[in-house]
Structures are given as C-alpha cells and as structure tokens.
Structure 1
Amino acid sequence: MLTAFSLSAVAIPALIVANAPPIIAVEQRIAQAPRRVIPPAELPPVEPIAFVAVSPDDAQTFNASIPFSTAPNLPARPFRITGSEADIARAADCLTAAVLYEAGDDTEGQRPVAQVVLNRVRHPAFPKSVCGVVFQGAERRTGCQFTFTCDGALRRRYSDAAWERARAVATAALKGYVDKSVGTATHYHTNWVVPYWSSSLDKIVEIKTHLFFRWTGWWGTPPAFRGRYLGAEPAIAKLASIAPAHAEGALADAANDGEAAASIETAALPAPTAADPDSFLVTLDPRLAPAQWSGWALRLCGDRPYCKVLAWTDAAETPATATTDARTMERVAFSYLRDNARGFDKALWNCDRFERPDLAQCMKARVFLPSTRRADDFRLEMLPGSGLRSALGVRPGIAEGAREPVLDLGGVRRRGDPPPEKAEQPAAAKPPIVGPARPPQSP
C-alpha cells in the first residue's frame, strides 16, 4: 500500500507536466500616442521627442506592424533660399550638419533628411529658419528634435571631405532640389527605436534604416506648407568650431571697451510680463549684434505656439507693462511675433536705426499724432522704423518742432496754395481739306 502511494506521488505530477497546456507567448504592448486626425483649425503640437524603452529587435518588430499609408505621396514644392550672404551661409552650415550627423557620410541617405528639414521650415508648426528647425530644443539635454544637437555628437568631427559632400547636398536642397521620395514628411526615425508619436502619424516610406512620416489629414498635405521663410538665421555656438559662418556670427562687434559679445545661447532670457506669459517687454543685451536678435527671440520664445517680443536697447525706455505711449513705441528696436494658429512668424527691425538688407524685415510706419502737433505737420518720412529717413536724406537729430525744407513735388497742390488759374483754350483749328489720293508713280 505504501509502495503504491509512493508511486502515485511520483507519477501524477509527471503526467501533469507531460500534458500541460501550451504556453501562449504574450507580445509586449507598447504604449503609443492615440491616432487622431487634427482638423485644419487646430495646429499640430510639436512635442519633445521621447522613445519607448524597448530592445532594437522589439522595435523593428513593432515598426513593421505599422502599415504604410495608402494616400498619395505628393512631392513638396522646391525651396529656394533668399537673404543676406551671412544668413545663407549659416543656413547651409546648419543643413549640412543635419544631413551629415543624422545620415552619416551617405549622399542617398542625406537627401531625404534635407527634405524633411525644409518641409519643417515651411510648416506653420515649426520655426521659420533652417537653423531654428535643426536646433529646435537643442538647449535640452534630451528631447531635442534632432538628437545630434543635444547628445554630444557634435564633439565628433567628420573629415573635411565628408563635410564638403554633405554641404553639396545641403546647397542643392536650398537651391530648389526636391527629394520626391519622402513627399511632405516632417518626421523620421531609425528602425531600431520607437518614438511615442510613430503610430499616430502616417508612415509613408522606408529608406534604408529610416522610416518617414507625415501628419495625418490636412496638415500632411502640400497646402498646409504655407509658412514663410523668415530669412534671418541665428548663429549657433555649437557649430562655431566646425562652421566658419557660425564662428563669425557667434561674436558680435566688440563694444568700445573691447568687451566680448554674448552668443545667442549665453545671452540672458528675461521673464515674460506678469499679465501675459506669452509676451515679453525686454531690454536687448548690448553685446548681441542686431543680426542675432531674431535667433535670440526664437530661444526666448522656446516652444510657445504664440509669442510676442518687443525689445528696446535702453533699459530706461523699456516699459514694465504693455503700453500705447507714442514716445515709448517709437523707440522699439526689434519685434518678433509667432502665431502658429495662423501660420505667422515674423521678426522686424527698426530700420531707421538698424539697417537690414531686405526692406521686408523693417517695421511698418506707425502713425502717432500727438494732440500738441498739427495734422498738416505730419510727414511720412519722419515716422519711426519706416526706413524713409535715410532714403529721403532726412537729417537725424532735428530739434523738436523744427521743420525740414518741404520737398518740391511738381504737380502736387498743398493746403493753403491758391487754386491754379484756368488757361485759355485756343480755338480748334479746322481740319484741312484732303483730296483723293494720287496713284503712286513709278520711278
């Protein structure tokens, strides 16, 4: 009896193990952003990039499970850069760094990266300069839009030959070359990582080890790419050691005492106004050159979808709160306004004080008519920021109340001038009598 009990104690567990039900493998579920088609009235958010913690093998398996979009892959419009020589050189350096450090020394892989950068420049959700797009979020240690800008990769130098090959790709893209393979893609990632946004966008193409995506719905179609290129490229301190254009721009003109100028990345960032966290009334760092103000404003605004900056050069003139005072407003040196909801992104300078190569970057004339001044004393060339003082030769420093000699504009009647006398009209002459034409005579 004892023997039988002992045998059953051994046999029964053995039978259970031998006939156990099959173990079904449960795939690891990856938390992803919900898929949502954003309506045209709502601007898509640009979040700091973050990756799901999975192994490269699991990442490739998950990425393969996301189907490609079946909607047409329409090409982007050609991008042709404009602006000063310095701005164009900085844009080329930023785009060169992006294609080289993102795709390596591989021309075929670099062209799609360049296209994505320029697609972002045109999209209302992103900054409106090439360097602004490439280095968006670079002030963070993690979460920048292009990982090479914040992970220390720029400390590694490529050969001069590799840089020149990448620069040829960047220059071609800035002069109108379009990589049609990626269409209107604004996002991409390598196949061995999984960003949280990957399943919420349309996957459109795979090129080597990179997957390319566009926003779903209208925001991924060509009409959405209506943003205007700002044309003012900031100097990037992180590129100063490898790109001469940024080495020259990182330092502005020295002050009279020889003090070194601040770079955009080291200049102080004032707090917004107490009444509006998206508005800034600031005094410009005197060590920053006027060409650097737009890049500094981009850094000041950060990722805000709406941001307004009004800047003065003198702290005594800078108001603490919003004002409509004419004297204060006419001393504004620089302004910047971003309104992503309306696709607006614009930097303007007071061109009466700070020359710009493009009049489109000048502030429009503000019409302020103080009550102590007669309306017929108003002259357009005296308005701040219009750029007409220098164009018309109006002397700066004219005493208050003094008047310039009035320009002699022929044919223009001014207030107080007598009406012109009517000239007597001569009597109409009778038309001559013309007889029938004589036939031509041969020589």
Structure 2
Amino acid sequence: MRPEGGESTLPLRRDWTGWLFVLIAVVAIGAVLYANGEKNGARYMARPHPVAPPADVVPEAPPMVLAPVTESDARAQNAKIALVTKGFVAPRPFVYGGGGDAKARARDCLAAAMLYEAGDDAKGQQAVGQVVINRARHPAFPKSICGVVFQGSERVTGCQFTFTCDGALNRRYSDAAWQRARNNADLMLSGGTYPAIGLATHYHTDWVRPYWSDSLEKIAIVDTHLFFRWPGYWGTPGAFRGAVSGDDGPIAKLAALSPLHAIALGLPTEIAPVDANAAVGEARVVVGAGETAGRDTIYTQLDRKAAPESFVTTALRLCGDKPYCKFMGWTNPTLKPDSDAMSDTQRAAMSFSYLRDDKAGFEKALWNCSEYRRDDVRQCMKR
C-alpha cells in the first residue's frame, strides 16, 4: 500500500539497508586484513629514527652480533631502514704517520680486513679500508690501524670484524690476491679515499641484521653492503679528529699470514706463505760484491694488475731509510734477474725502477712506458 499520489518508501529502505550491509562488510574485511598485517608484517615495520647519543659522552662501539633472522627477513627489514643523505660528508685523505716495519704491519692488518671482509674485489676492499680508517680517527675506537681491525678478537664471538674471531684466518687466499689487497691497503694509507661511504663507521651485508642497525643511520649502499654512522654529533666531521698512532705493533693472529708480524713476535717466518720483503709474490734483496750494506739493490716481481703508482709505495717501503737504494721491478717473472748481470732482454723488460742516493742528492722513479703509459715523458725509461 502507498498513500494516494505519494511515492513508495520500500525501495528507499532496501537501498539503505543494502549500502549498510556493504559498509559493514568492508569494515570487517579491513579489520581482518589489518589484524593479519599486524600479525604477519610486524617484523617488517619501518624503523624509528635512531636517537643521537649525548654529544659529551663518547658512545660505546657495539660488537657485531647478529639477530636470528632468515636472509629473506633480514633483507626485508634492512630495506625498511631509511637512507639518510642529509649531512653526508666525504672522508679526508689519510696518510700513515709512521714508517718502516710499523707501517708495513699496519698495511698487513688493513689488507687482511680488506681481503677477508670484501674478498678479492678492489671496490669492496677500498670501502672496508675506509671504514677502518674512519674508526681509527674516531674516539670510540682504538687509535691504531691494527687495533681497530683486531678489536675484540680475543672473544669467541662479538668481535668488531668477524674474520678475526670466527676462524676465517685459517682459510688462505692466493699469494696474488693477498698482494693485491696489500697494494690497495698501501694506497689507503698513502692518502687514497673511498668517498662513496662518507664517514661510515659500521657496515654489514644486506642478508644479515646486526642488533646495532636500529641505533645507527644508514648513509650509503655499495652493492650488497650497507654503511652506517652514529646520529648526531658523533657522526659529524668534528668527531673524526683523533690522532692515529704511527707505531702499530705485532698481532699474533696475523703471524701466519704476515712475516713482519711473525718476526716482531719472535716466531719463525717459515709459517708465512709470503717472503717478509715481498712486494708481489717475491722480492729478493741483493747486496752486490764490493758494496757496503747501506747500498742495497732490490730485484722484485711486480703485480701486473696493480696500479703503477703503487710501485713507488712498494719501493719506498723496501728501501726504508737507507741512504742509497736501487729498486728494480718486473711484471714478467721469467725475465726477472737475480743480479746486475742481466741480459739486454731482461733489462728491456724492466717495468719500473727507483733510485735513491742521498749523498748525491738524487731520487727518481721511472716506468717502462711501453707497458705503463705516463702523461709526463720524463717519467719514462730511456730505451
């Protein structure tokens, strides 16, 4: 029934109740989805912004302890950490303050960190090396290169660099790979930088999640590695002003890999795979007949893949403080002589030479420019 001349109210009532049913259903479905999301996705919630430690208290460096999560969960959680680009500052060049055996030991500590943390990869090694140098400059860490690398290595777990306490040093890389890492370390200790990671003091691969990742700012991504700094003052350039020791001592855990560490500890160098004077694979020091011990001639095999500028660093290291030193290097091991009595073919195959004579006030480095192009022809050997 409907009023005379009026409209029926039944269709309106049906429309209203139908929309109400749809609304209730949508709300119910949304509530279920939200509950499931809370249950299944809580692990992937976005991280809160880390709180900056007090500027007047040096923060404590947390050890590398990993949360028990799967690789896929770790990647998902790491992806939720925001990348902070504000205040990003490139690192300043660093030049090691010491020399001689101390610098060589620092180089081997740094090379070990580069090789065992990044493998035989130049870019990854430089990133690791920059983190080590950043730490050495920061008051929260030891003030030497070897001290930074082997911090906490006396513990079974929880060291700063896991290769120093998880038995990884029992695995040996090839001599060539080890020497490439040493060359890269030499460059980092002689003013080389890796700007892409800024002032990062921590890093990890994206398939693990250290407990400290919640308290630091993610500032760089290099391939599968994530790099972090402290928030607040302790992540700014002002915090990286500490003096770094130029007198690195020996590390027992490195003695089997580095003869320079073994010698300083009074251990036999036979346990080490590379000669104590090795520049690349082999370096032989020969004192010629009729010459004094202060006039050394060094015949060295060089790494063909190494940066040619690194040959100078190698020569300076091997010559040390000697007032007279002649350094000659070959990238072709079959043509490297053992004395000055070399053939014309051997002499023509020489890749690099360095001569220092303090008495004559002379010092010069030359390259074989048929092998290594130089912009300044005065750096080329005469043929």
TM range (shorter): 0.5 to 0.7
- 1:27 pairs with 2:41: yes
**In 2, distance between residues paired with 1:33 and 1:88?**
42
Q: Distance in 2 between matches of 1:52 and 1:30?
A: 14
Q: What code does the residue aligned with 1:93 have?
A: D
Contact 1:120 1:186 in 2 (8 A): yes
1:227 alignment counterpart:
242
Q: How far off its partner does 1:237 sit?
A: 1.1
One-letter amino acid of the counterpart of residue 113, structure 1 = V
Q: Which residue of 2 aligns with 1:94?
A: 109
CA–CA separation in structure 2 for the residues paired with 1:206 and 1:151: 25
Match in the other structure for 1:201: 216
| 1:54 match | 69
Distance 1:30 1:197 in 2: 17
Structure 1 residues 49-198: aligned runs within 5 Å = 49-198=64-213
Q: State, as a whole percentage, how many aligned pairs show the same letter.
A: 53
Q: Aligned to 2:43, what secondary structure does the other structure show?
A: coil
Task: Name the CA distance, whole Å, in 2 between partners of 1:138 and 1:87.
Answer: 20
Deviation at 1:28, TM superposition (A): 4.5
After TM superposition, the structure 1 = structure 2 runs for residues 294-309 of structure 1, keeping only pairs within 5 Å, are: none
Alignment correspondent of 2:273: none
- Looking at structure 2, the residues matched to 34 and 77 of structure 1 have their Cα atoms a distance apart, in angstroms, of 27
Change (3 A) 1:33 1:197: farther
- Partner Cα separation in structure 2 for residue 216 and residue 139 of structure 1: 29
User: Could you tell me whether the CA contact under 8 Å between 1:33 and 1:196 is conserved in 2?
Assistant: no
Counterpart contact for 2:152–2:160, Cα < 8 Å: yes
Counterpart contact for 1:95–1:170, Cα < 8 Å: yes
Please say if residues 105 and 260 of structure 2, whose CA atoms lie closer than 8 Å, have aligned partners that are also in contact: yes
Which range is displaced more, 196-205 or 55-64? 196-205
**Alpha-carbon offset, residue 241 of structure 1:** 1.1
Please give the per-residue CA displacement for 1:297-350, whole angstroms capped at 9, x wherever unaligned. Answer: xxxxxxxxxxxxxxxxxxxxxxxxxxxxxxxxxxxxxxxxxxxxxxxxxxxxxx
Deviations along 1:26-71, one digit per CA (max 9) or x if unpaired, are: 2243898982111321111112221110000000000000010031
State the shift of 1:249 in Å: 1.1
Cα distance in 1 for partners of 2:74, 2:87 equals 27
How many angstroms does 1:108 deviate by?
1.1
The partner residue of 2:262 within 219, 230, 247 is: 247
- State the secondary structure of the residue aligned to 1:90: helix
Alignment gaps of 5+ in structure 2: 1-27, 269-320, 322-383
Partners of 2:162 and 2:246 lie apart in 1 by: 24
Distance in 2 (alpha carbons) for counterparts of 1:243 and 1:30: 44
Deviation (angstroms), 1:199:
2.0
Runs of 4+ deviating beyond 3 Å: 19-23, 28-34
SS of residue matched to 1:143: coil
Note the alpha carbon deviations across 1:273-293, whole angstroms, 9 max, x for none: xxxxxxxxxxxxxxxxxxxxx
Distance 2:73 2:148 in 1: 30
- TM-score under structure 1 normalisation? 0.51
Partner SS, residue 204 of structure 1: strand
Separation in structure 2 between the aligned mates of residue 251 and residue 125 of structure 1, nearest angstrom: 32
Counterpart of 1:205 in 2: which secondary structure? Answer: strand
Q: Secondary structure at the match of 1:86?
A: helix
Contact 2:44 2:80 in 1 (8 A): no
Structure 1 residues 159 and 48, CA, compared in 2 at 3 Å: closer, same or farther?
same
Counterpart residue number, 2:289 = none
1:200 Cα deviation from its structure 2 partner: 1.3
- Number of aligned residue pairs: 236
Distance in 2 (alpha carbons) for counterparts of 1:169 and 1:77: 17
1:104 is displaced (CA, Å) by 0.3
Cα distance change on mapping 1:30 and 1:234 into 2, 3 Å: farther
Whichever structure has more helix as a proportion of its residues is 2
Aligned partners of 1:33 and 1:200 also within 8 Å: no
Conserved in 1, the CA contact under 8 Å of 2:94 and 2:189? yes
Give the AA of the match of 1:24: N
For 1:34 and 1:179, locate their aligned partners in 2 and report how far apart those are by CA, in whole Å. 26
